[in-house]
Structure formats: structure tokens, C-alpha cells
Structure 1
């Protein structure tokens, strides 16, 4: 009996772009995403193997590459891992290790690491609570953000601290059916 189908790099990137455009930018879940998207300053990296240690190495390589480039060329990186860390608790544990590894590699204060996962669940919520959708992407995704860019964006936005609450209101108004209608899950961006 064969295992679950693996996702190829083209599909993973296409699905992630669709999610970014329809959900993150379309619903304005991150008011800072549109500018870097329009300027093509987002790098999409896809890690295909089902190997956590290799994913850690890929994350460090992406951090080094991002650090070597000017923000005007590449401001942020989405590292998509469609074939590994399918369990959210495993992903969450990996995220803690990844933050420590980035810090030990000298990126503390240089990058923030945000995370998205198809089963993302905030502490104290039920799996089906709509607010979890704010951090749900088609595949496990690690997001490297430049601290300087985040600081500038927050300073320029007087209501940055209200983003989370506004996102919850947006998703509650949208509801589960509205979220499903966005069609931003795995395999949604078909050629």
C-alpha cells in the first residue's frame, strides 16, 4: 500500500500564492503583505522531503540567503514544507527548535519567524474555531521576516496592535462557509 501523495514544488508554491492573495491580502489579515507582494519582494522556497532535520538546514540556508540580500530585492521568505510536519503539535515543537537554531546562528534581532499550518490552533480554542484560520495556510510554512521591516511597518501603522482583534472580527463575519469559499487549501491552484 502506498503512502499519502506528495506535493510537488509547483503545486505548493501556486497554492501558497493563491492563499496569500485571496486570504492574507484579500481579507487584509496582514496589512503589510500587499506592498511586498506587489513589489515581488517575497521569496517562495519549497522544501519537498519529509525530513525535519533537512527542513532545519533549509531554514538556516534561507535565512543566510535573505540576510545576504538587500530588502529592496527580497524582504521576506516563505519556506513551504508540504510533505513534512503534517501534525500541528509536531510543527509547533519544530518551530521552537527553529527559533533557537536561528538565534544561535546569529539571527536574533535580525529575523522574526512566523508560522502557518493547515491545522493551526491557538491555545484555548477548539480545532474548528474560525479564528484559527488567521494562521492556516495550505501547507506547513515558516515565514522569515526582517525585524527592521516589521518595525518600520508597525511604526507606519498607528493601529498595528489592533490587527489580531480585527482579523478575528473579519473571520467571524466571514464564517466557516465563507472561508471555505475562498478555496485556499491544498490543491486549490490547479493549472
Structure 2
């Protein structure tokens, strides 16, 4: 897939699933203000993706939130296996620490085959962290805290609501909402 198609599929996922299903009640505000940066990594190996992560962490830390509040680093091909991607997340967290950004920026992750521990692969609740491609979401912790305070978000309530939303939607509804790219 070319970069434009990857961005289009990612935008569709954000608009239809993340915002449309209200899986993240804080996403709409930064999305409508164009404060979400989407970067497609063309890295051919993990080291290249780590270079991309380094650059994006530096850029996000140096840029006011009013310009870029959050960044999605999307890689369409590097992690076809979810377990390999899941293992990589520990390295991503180490990179955040190496940049001295623990407590400043956190990494949330999404993958087409996301699977929470203790769930079956076809459990619809896994869809809360499913995206068209392997994605690292760089979040400013102070923005998250501000959004929680403003929106009155309760993490446990959001998780419970998301599970109920996805169970009502079902696998067929999810497939229709987000066809495979």
C-alpha cells in the first residue's frame, strides 16, 4: 500500500471506530482541531522504526500541544505477527525512558490482530485496540489528564462501556465498519 492509502485507512479507523463508536471520548477534541499527527513509517526493520520513534518523540516534546497534541506512528508491514509487535512495545517504552519522557509521553498500541491476555482471538472486545495497521500512539500525559478532568472520564467506566458497545456491534458490525485494507 502507498502512504496515502495507509493514511486514509488510519483516518477512517479514527473517524468510524475511535470517534464514531466513542471508544476514546477524548479523541474528538484533538481530531477536530487537527492536532493529531499521522506518520507512516517506511522502515524496513525494527531499527529503522526505532529511529522514526526517536524523531517523533523529539518532535512531539518540542512542539506545543496546540500544534500537535498526539502522534500516530503507523507501520503497514513490519509487524504481521501481533506477538512480535507486543514484545516490541517494551522496547518502545524503553525509548521513551531514554528520551527522559517518562511521565510526559506514553505509548498506547494498536494492531489488526490485537489480543488481550485471557481472551480468544475472535473475542470482539479485542477490537478496542485493533487498527488497520500496527500503530504506536504517542500521548502527552498532561493532555490525557486534562481530558479526563474535563470530560469526567473514568477509565474503568470507559472500558466497560467499550466492551458493551463492541458486544452490541458484534464481529459482523465491526467488519462492516472497518473493512480490511
TM-score by length of 2: 0.96
Q: Identify the residue that residue 72 of structure 2 maps to in structure 1.
A: 78
CA distance in 2, matches of 1:176, 1:110: 36
> Which runs of structure 2 are paired with 1:80-99 in the superposition (5 Å)?
80-99=74-93
- Asked if structure 2 preserves the Cα contact closer than 8 Å seen for 1:43 and 1:78, the reply is yes
> Which runs of structure 2 are paired with 1:28-177 in the superposition (5 Å)?
28-161=22-155, 162-177=157-172
**2:174 matches 1:179:** yes
- Asked if structure 1 preserves the Cα contact closer than 8 Å seen for 2:26 and 2:151, the reply is no
CA distance in 2, matches of 1:78, 1:104: 20
**Range with bigger deviation, 14-23 or 155-164:** 155-164
Between Structure 1 and Structure 2, how many residues are aligned?
Answer: 180
CA distance in 1, matches of 2:54, 2:101: 10
**3-state DSSP of counterpart to 1:19:** helix
After superposition, the C-alpha distances for 1:65-101 in whole angstroms (9 at most, x for unaligned) are 0111100000000000002011101101111111012
**3-state DSSP of counterpart to 2:8:** helix
- Asked if structure 2 preserves the Cα contact closer than 8 Å seen for 1:19 and 1:185, the reply is no
**3-state DSSP of counterpart to 1:78:** strand
Q: Unaligned 5+ residue runs, structure 2?
A: none
**3-state DSSP of counterpart to 1:142:** strand
After superposition, the C-alpha distances for 1:147-166 in whole angstroms (9 at most, x for unaligned) are 11001111223242211110
TM-score by length of 1: 0.92
**3-state DSSP of counterpart to 1:45:** strand
- Asked if structure 2 preserves the Cα contact closer than 8 Å seen for 1:66 and 1:75, the reply is yes
CA distance in 1, matches of 2:97, 2:57: 11
**3-state DSSP of counterpart to 1:141:** strand
